[in-house]
Amino acid sequence: MNKQQIVILGAGYGGLMTALHLQKKLKHHHTDITLVNKHDYHYQTTWLHETAAGTIHHDQTRIPLDEVIDKRRVHLVIDTVKAIQPDEKKVKLANSELTYDILVIALGFETATFGITGLKENAFMISTLNKARLLRQHLSYNFAQYHNEKKKNPARLNIVVGGGGFTGVEFLGELANRIPELCAEYDIDKAKVRVINIEGSPTVLPGFDPDLVEYAMNSLEARGVEFITGALLKECNPDNIVYKKNGMLTQIPTMTTIWAAGVKANPIVEVSGFQTNRGKVEVMEDLRAPGYEDVFVLGDCASIKDPETGQVVAPTAQMAVRQAKVAARNIIKRLKGEEKLEAFVPKTLGTVASLGNDDAIAVILKNWKIFGWKATFMKKMIDNRYLIRLGGWNLLFQKGKFNFFY
Amino acid sequence: MNKQQIVILGAGYGGLMTALHLQKKLKHHHTDITLVNKHDYHYQTTWLHETAAGTIHHDQTRIPLDEVIDKRRVHLVIDTVKAIQPDEKKVKLANSELTYDILVIALGFETATFGITGLKENAFMISTLNKARLLRQHLSYNFAQYHNEKKKNPARLNIVVGGGGFTGVEFLGELANRIPELCAEYDIDKAKVRVINIEGSPTVLPGFDPDLVEYAMNSLEARGVEFITGALLKECNPDNIVYKKNGMLTQIPTMTTIWAAGVKANPIVEVSGFQTNRGKVEVMEDLRAPGYEDVFVLGDCASIKDPETGQVVAPTAQMAVRQAKVAARNIIKRLKGEEKLEAFVPKTLGTVASLGNDDAIAVILKNWKIFGWKATFMKKMIDNRYLIRLGGWNLLFQKGKFNFFY
C-alpha cells in the first residue's frame, strides 16, 4: 500500500500548527506526516524580545517538539532544509532527502539588512532563540565590563534599537523594564544608560492608531527611552552607529545595536522556482503556490493580499496560526480527492503591542482601542490561548504568563 | 581638644576587622577613626571564585560597609588611595587628603602577571568583585555565542586556568560544577567543553599534603578537569594560549584564560618609602613598619616570617583577620602611651580548599587531614563564622552558606 507523504517544512507557528491539526484529524488515514525543523524545539518568535531583554528565560519561550507532537503519527526530522525541488516533488535536507505528495512550506523569516554598512556583522537581531539569548548575555557583559575599565566607556551603556515597528517597540518596552535591574546588578547609575530608538517614519508604529502611538511613546519616554524619528541608520560599527536626519549625519557611541527593522522570507523559497514577489510566494486564496497544486505556503514565506483593501497583510503569528487551520483542512480535502478547496480570509482580529510586562496598547476589530493593564491582560491571554492550542492546559501551566497584575 | 586621627586604608579582611575592633573598643576615647575604601562595600575575596564561576551571586559575597560600620564612630571615605607619605603623616586620595596620627595599611593585593606575553591584556582574573562578575558573564556569553556561529569555534568552550594554587583549584571546583548548568542552558554537548589547568609544579597545590592533593585531583578529574602539570604558560592571546612543557610549545585555542597564579602587594606600598621585600613591608612582630612607629601594615601588604620555620607565611584571610585583632589592641596601647606592644604569632589553625560546593580538602592543626563532606562542612562553617564576627547573626542569615548537605 502506497501511503501519501505529507511533508511540513518548519515548526514555527504555521508549520507546527498544521502538523498538530493533521495529527488530530488524520488518525484513520493512510498518510505519513513528516515535520522537518532545524531544532528539536518550537519557539515563540513573538516572545523573543522578552528573552533578548532578559525579562523572561528562554526556556519559557520554547517548547520541545517531543512534548506536543505525537510521534506515532508525525515523524520528526531535525535537519536543515537546503533546497526545494517542486518539479521533482523533493526536498533536500543537509543530511537526507525527502519525497512528498503534499508539501507545506513554513520556513519563516530572516532579518533583512538592506545593505546598510556593517549591520549584518555588528548588529544584534531578535530573530531566533539563539540570537535572543546572545543579546541578553551581551547586555549583561557590557554592564559587567563597565566598572572594569579605568576610562569609562559610554558605548557600553548606550543601546540603539534600529526600527520602531512592532518588534522594536516591544523590545524597547522590555528593555526599559530591564535596565534598572541591570543597573542594580552592576552598580551603575541609571542616568548613565541611554536607550535610543531610530525610526525612519515620523512616529513609531507607523500605520497604528495615532492616540495609541502617542500613549506608547509617552509610556516608553517616561521610562527613559529616547526616540529619534525621521532618521535612517547609515552605518553600524563595532563601537558606534551613524544615522542621518534632515540631511545631517550623527554618530552615537554604542557597542549594542539591535536591528529590528526588517524581515524577509527564508531565501530558500525564492531560489526554488516558485513565482515570488519580494522573495515571497504570492499564494492563491487556498494558500497553494501558483502552478503547484500540492504545495502550500504559510506565514512569512507567503504573500497574501486583503481582498477588501488590496494591501498585503502583515505576516503575523496570528495569521500563520489561522492559515495553518485552513491549510490542514485543504490538505485533507486533497487527500479525499476534492477539487474545491477552502479560501483563507486574511481578517485581523486585532493587534496588541506589549510595552513591557506591565503596559500595552491594542486595537481590536479595527476600532476598539485599549491600553494599559487591559491591553496587557489581553496580550497575555492571547499568548496563553496559543499555549492551550499547542499543548493543552498542561503546557499552559508550564509556560504560561500569569503575572497579570504587576 | 585635639582628637587622635586613626586612618585605616582598605576595607578588606584586615582593614575592616581592624575598624570593627576599634569601633567596639574605643567608645570612650577621643579618637577619630577613618576607614578609606574604593567601594562602599566589603567583599569576601575568598568567595570570589564562586562568583566568577557563577555558582553564587556576587551580592552574597559582598557586604555594604554601611551595614557593619557604626557611622557615629567610624568615618567612611569612599575614595582611591593615590599615595602614602609616612614622613609627613599624610595620605593622598583621588579626591582629598588625610592626615593621621596612626595609620593602618591594608590595601590588599593585585594580580602579578610576571611579564607573560598578553596575559595582562587577555586573561581574566578573580581578584576583585568587578572582575569576578565579568568572568561569569564572559563564560555565559561564549556559551550563548557558540550556536550562533556557522563554523563552531572550540575556543569558546575551552577554558584554561593558569595556576593550580588555592585560587586556581577552588575555581576549578566551582567551574566543574557550573559547566553542566551552562551546557543545559545553551544546548551544548558537555563532551565538547574542556577545562584545562596549567601548573608549573608536578602537582597542583604544591606543599599541600600529597594524599589530599591526590584526592583533589581525582575529584576534579572525575568532573572533567584536565591537568597539565610541570608546564608554564608562555603566551596568552585573545583566542589561544601557548604553554611550554618538556621544552615543547603547545597551543590551545581558547577565549577564556583565567590567571590564578600570582599575587603581589598593592604597588602603592613599594613607592611610599617603606623598607620592602618583593613589594611587601617586612613588618616588625608587632605589625608596625620598621622606622615608622605609628604605621601598621596588614594582610597582603605585609611580609611576615614564621619564627619557628623562618618561612614567609601565606597572606591568607585567616592571617589578616587575626592580624587585625592584634593591630587593634596595639593601636589602643599606643593611644594609652604604652611602649610595649603585643607580638603577632603567625600560627595557622588549618587550611581548607573547597572543590565546589560539595567537596573539599583540609588540613587542621598541621596533621589532621579531612576531605569530602566533612571538609566542605568545615569550610562553610569558617565562612559563616567570619560573617558572625563581621555583622552578627543578622548578617549570617543574610549571606551565610547553609547548603551543607548537597
Mean pLDDT calculated for residue range B107-116: 93
- For chain A, the domains span 4-111+264-348, 119-261
Residues from chain A that touch B130, judged by Cβ atoms under 8 A, are 144, 147-148
Residues from chain A that touch B186, judged by Cβ atoms under 8 A, are 133
Mean pLDDT calculated for residue range B315-341: 94
Residue A402 has pLDDT above 80, yes or no: no
Residue B392 has pLDDT above 90, yes or no: no
Residues from chain A that touch B144, judged by Cβ atoms under 8 A, are 130, 133-134, 136-137
For A148, which of B130, B141, B144 is closest by C-beta distance? B130
Q: Is A144 on the interface with B (CB under 8 A)?
A: yes
B contact test, residue of A51, A140, A143, A150 with most B CBs within 10 A: A140
Q: Residue A394 is which amino acid?
A: N
pLDDT for position A235: 97
Residue A274 has pLDDT above 70, yes or no: yes
Residue A41 has pLDDT above 60, yes or no: yes
- Average pLDDT, whole number, for chain B? 92
Note the pLDDT tens digit of each residue in B57-106. Answer: 999 899 999 999 999 899 999 999 999 999 999 999 999 999 999 999 99
Per-residue pLDDT band for A405 (boundaries 50, 70, 90) equals: low
Is the fold of A4-111+264-348 the same as that of A119-261? Answer: yes
Residue A297 has pLDDT above 80, yes or no: yes
Cα torsion B403, B42, A141, B123 to 10°: value is: -100
Residue B396 has pLDDT above 90, yes or no: no
Q: List the single residue in A with minimal CA-CA distance to B140.
A: A137
Per-residue pLDDT band for B405 (boundaries 50, 70, 90) equals: low
Residue identified by cell 601565606 is: B314
**pLDDT > 90: percent of chain B:** 73
Per-residue pLDDT band for A1 (boundaries 50, 70, 90) equals: low
Residue B404 has pLDDT above 70, yes or no: no
- What's the residue count for chain A? 406
For A147, which of B130, B137, B138 is closest by C-beta distance? B130
pLDDT for position B157: 98
The pTM assigned to this predicted structure is 0.84
Q: Spot the catalytic one: B170, B181, B214, B226.
A: B170
Per-residue pLDDT band for B370 (boundaries 50, 70, 90) equals: confident
Residue B34 has pLDDT above 70, yes or no: yes
Residue A406 has pLDDT above 60, yes or no: no
Residues from chain A that touch B131, judged by Cβ atoms under 8 A, are 148
Note the pLDDT tens digit of each residue in A186-231. Answer: 999 999 999 999 999 999 998 889 999 999 999 999 999 999 999 9
CATH 3.40.50.11890 for the B119-261 domain, yes or no: no
User: Where do runs of H (alpha helix) occur along B26-94?
Assistant: 48-53, 58-61, 65-68
Do B137 and A144 count as a contact with CB atoms less than 8 A apart?
yes
Q: Is A401 on the interface with B (CB under 8 A)?
A: no
Per-residue pLDDT band for A42 (boundaries 50, 70, 90) equals: very high
3-state secondary structure chain A: CCCEEEEEECCCHHHHHHHHHHHHHCCCCCEEEEEEECCCEEECHHHHHHHHHCCCCHHHHEEEHHHHCCCCCEEEEECCEEEEECCCCEEEECCCEEECCEEEECCCEEECCCCCECHHHHCECCCCHHHHHHHHHHHHHHHHHHCCCCCCCHHHCEEEEECCCHHHHHHHHHHHHHHHHHHHHCCCCHHHCEEEEEECCCCCCCCCCHHHHHHHHHHHHHCCEEEEECEEEEEEECCEEEEEECCEEEEEECCEEEECCCEEECCCCHHHCCCEECCEEECCCCCECCCCCCEEECHHHEECECCCCCCECCCCHHHHHHHHHHHHHHHHHHHCCCCCCCCCCCCCCEEEEECCCCCEEEEECCCEEEECHHHHHHHHHHHHHHHHHHHHHHHHHHHCCCCCCC
A contact test, residue of B61, B131, B141, B188 with most A CBs within 10 A: B141
CA nearest neighbour of A362 among A344, A388, A384, A381 = A381
Residue B393 has pLDDT above 80, yes or no: no
Helix (H) or strand (E) holding B394: helix B373-399
Task: Please tell me the distance in Å from A30's CA to the nearest CA on chain B.
Answer: 36
d(CA B213, CA B211): 5
Binding-face residues of B in 112-131 toward A, CB within 8 A: 130-131
Do B137 and A140 count as a contact with CB atoms less than 8 A apart?
yes
For B145, which of A134, A145, A186 is closest by C-beta distance? A134
pLDDT for position A334: 94
Q: Is B380 on the interface with A (CB under 8 A)?
A: no
Q: Is A150 on the interface with B (CB under 8 A)?
A: no
Rg (CA), chain A: 22
Per-residue pLDDT band for A398 (boundaries 50, 70, 90) equals: confident
**pLDDT > 90: percent of chain A:** 74
Residues from chain B that touch A186, judged by Cβ atoms under 8 A, are 133
For A130, which of B131, B141, B148 is closest by C-beta distance? B148
pLDDT for position B140: 96
A contact test, residue of B60, B111, B126, B133 with most A CBs within 10 A: B133
CATH 3.30.450.20 for the A4-111+264-348 domain, yes or no: no
- Average pLDDT, whole number, for chain A? 92
Do B147 and A130 count as a contact with CB atoms less than 8 A apart?
yes
Cα torsion B12, B15, B17, B22 to 10°: value is: -160
Do A140 and B145 count as a contact with CB atoms less than 8 A apart?
no
Residues from chain B that touch A130, judged by Cβ atoms under 8 A, are 144, 147-148
Q: Is A251 on the interface with B (CB under 8 A)?
A: no
Residue A247 has pLDDT above 90, yes or no: yes
Do A140 and B138 count as a contact with CB atoms less than 8 A apart?
no
pLDDT for position B402: 75
Residues from chain A that touch B137, judged by Cβ atoms under 8 A, are 137, 140-141, 144-145
Per-residue pLDDT band for B367 (boundaries 50, 70, 90) equals: confident
Per-residue pLDDT band for B165 (boundaries 50, 70, 90) equals: very high
CA dihedral for A270, A275, A280, A283, sign (positive or negative): negative
pLDDT for position B388: 82
Note the pLDDT tens digit of each residue in B214-226. Answer: 999 999 999 999 9
